[in-house]
Amino acid sequence: MSRALRTAMVTIGFLATIATTQSVNPLAADAAGRGQRAWYNDHWINMATDWETATACTVDASGAFCFTTEAELDEYLAASSPSVATAVTTAAPVVAAFSCGTTLRLYDGTSYTGSLLQLTSEGIYLNLGDFGFNNRTSSYKVGGCSSLFYSGASGGGSLYPTSYTEAGDQFPSMLTGWNNTISSVYIL
């Protein structure tokens, strides 16, 4: 069993213990109300201020988790839900009964390189600054639900052309004038 898988299993057990003893909001900010808290290795980090050595983070209804590599993130996802992990890595639109089934992946490098932020929360504006990803998107993969990209927080500013952010779309670079300008997203 790999180190990443062991860490994921320990993390799941830890979070299950927390969930049975207190109410946990997986999209909760840190104590000061700024940034998303994420579990990385053996401790919490504030994604808005420092990802430490993490390069791949996922945020969903169960919480936020960061990993040193995208491969470790994919291994964690495969252990959690093999069909979703396969669809995410191929950007194939798979529809689950309760949601899109796959995720939105934003990369800070062109051609799906650099740090990766994976999001799944539908129906709310997600401010990328809360995740330390404001104005960093250079390439992306849209999962099973179409998404909206905005240049401002909370859906403000200009809207990225929606014909490029439909379910299953993926682009190795942003349209001219849009590199490193996305501040919020909305997954439909």
Per-residue pLDDT reduced to its tens digit, 62-88: 899 999 999 999 999 999 865 444 444
CA distances from 105 to 33, 88, 137 (A): 25, 8, 10
This prediction has a pTM of 0.77
CA distances from 150 to 28, 30, 174, 181 (A): 22, 24, 13, 8
Task: Give the rounded percent of residues in the chain with a pLDDT score beyond 70.
Answer: 72
Tokens linked to 153: 């927080």
What is the band of 9 on the pLDDT scale with cuts at 50, 70, 90?
very low
Cα gap 126→12, rounded to integer Å: 24
Lowest mean pLDDT among 6-15, 58-67, 151-160, 172-181: 6-15
Q: What are the b/e assignments for 111-134, b being 16+ CB within 10 Å?
A: ebeebbbbbbbbeebbbbbbbbbb
The domain containing residue 41 runs over which residues?
3-187
Provide the domain count of the chain: 1
CATH classification of the domain holding 81: 2.60.20.10
Q: What pLDDT score was predicted for residue 102?
A: 79
Q: What pLDDT score was predicted for residue 100?
A: 75
Cα gap 47→185, rounded to integer Å: 17
Q: What are the b/e assignments for 69-85, b being 16+ CB within 10 Å?
A: ebebbbbbbbbbeeebb
At 149 the three-state DSSP class reads strand
* Residues pairing with 109 in the sheet: 113
Count CB atoms within 10 A of the CB of residue 6: 10
Q: What is the mean pLDDT of residues 7-25?
A: 40
